[in-house]
Amino acid sequence: MKMLKLLLLFVILGLGVVTTVMYSGIVDVAADEPHSDFVYWILEETRENSIKKAAENIEVPDLDVPDLLLTGGSDYEFMCSSCHLAPGQTESDMSLGLYPAPPNLTIAAESHKGHEHGDGAQNDRKNFWVIKHGIKASGMPAWGKTHDDQRIWAMVAFIKRLPTLTPEQYQVLTAVD
Amino acid sequence: MKTALLKKASKVALVLIPTITLSMAATAHDPSMHVKKAEKADCSKMDHSKMDMTDPVAIAMMKKCMKQAEKSNDKMDHSKMSKEMDHSKMKKMTDKNEKKDDHDEH
Angle A95-A97-A100 (CA atoms, 0-180°, nearest 5)?
75
* Residue A93 contacts B where some CB pair is shorter than 8 Å: no
- Which residues on chain A are in Cβ contact (under 8 Å) with B60? 66-67, 69-70, 73, 173
**Percentage, residues of chain A above pLDDT 90:** 90
Q: Is this complex's ipTM strictly greater than 0.90?
A: no
* Residue A173 contacts B where some CB pair is shorter than 8 Å: yes
Four-point Cα dihedral B28, B33, B35, B36, nearest 10 = -100
How confident is the model at residue A19, as a pLDDT? 97
Widest pairwise Cα distance in chain A: 75
Cα distance between residue A67 and residue A61, in whole Å? 14
pTM: 0.75
Cα distance between residue B66 and residue A158, in whole Å? 20
How confident is the model at residue B99, as a pLDDT? 46
Tell me what the mean pLDDT of segment A84-104 comes to: 95
Contacts of A93 (CB under 8 A, 6+ apart): A82
pLDDT 10s digits, A102-120: 999 999 866 554 454 557 8
Tell me what the mean pLDDT of segment A165-176 comes to: 93
Tell me what the mean pLDDT of segment A23-35 comes to: 94
Cα distance between residue B61 and residue B35, in whole Å? 25
A39, A137 Cβ separation under 8 angstroms: no
User: How big is the A-B interface in CB pairs under 8 Å?
Assistant: 58
Residue B95: pLDDT over 70? no
Higher pLDDT, A2 or A146: A146
How confident is the model at residue B52, as a pLDDT? 85
A166, A74 Cβ separation under 8 angstroms: no
Closest alpha carbon within chain A to B45: A168
How confident is the model at residue A137, as a pLDDT? 92
Range list of H helices, chain A:
2-24, 37-55, 66-79, 81-84, 93-97, 120-133, 149-161, 167-174
B47 φ/ψ angles, rounded to the nearest 5 degrees: -105, 100
A151, A53 Cβ separation under 8 angstroms: no
- Which residues on chain A are in Cβ contact (under 8 Å) with B46? 168, 172
A172, B41 Cβ separation under 8 angstroms: yes
Domains of chain A and CATH, by start: 64-174 (1.10.760.10)
Contacts of A172 (CB under 8 A, 6+ apart): B41, B42, B43, B46, B61, B64, B65
User: Cis omega (within 30 of 0) on the bond before A100?
Assistant: yes
Cα distance between residue A139 and residue A135, in whole Å? 7
Cα distance between residue B80 and residue A140, in whole Å? 51
pLDDT band at A93 (very low <50, low <70, confident <90, very high): very high
Residue B61: pLDDT over 80? yes
Residue B105: pLDDT over 80? no
A60, A149 Cβ separation under 8 angstroms: no
Contact A173 B38 (CB under 8 A): no
pLDDT 10s digits, A2-12: 899 999 999 99
How confident is the model at residue B72, as a pLDDT? 76
A75, A151 Cβ separation under 8 angstroms: yes
- Which residues on chain A are in Cβ contact (under 8 Å) with B74? none
B 14-53 residues with CB < 8 A to A: 36, 38-43, 45-46
Cα distance between residue A121 and residue A64, in whole Å? 12
B64, A70 Cβ separation under 8 angstroms: yes
pLDDT 10s digits, A53-63: 999 999 999 99
pLDDT 10s digits, B8-34: 778 777 777 777 666 665 555 555 545
* Residue B65 contacts A where some CB pair is shorter than 8 Å: yes
Inter-axis angle of helices B56-75 and A66-79, nearest 10: 80
Higher pLDDT, A134 or B95: A134
Q: What is the mean pLDDT of chain A?
A: 93
Residue A127: pLDDT over 70? yes
Closest alpha carbon within chain A to B56: A66
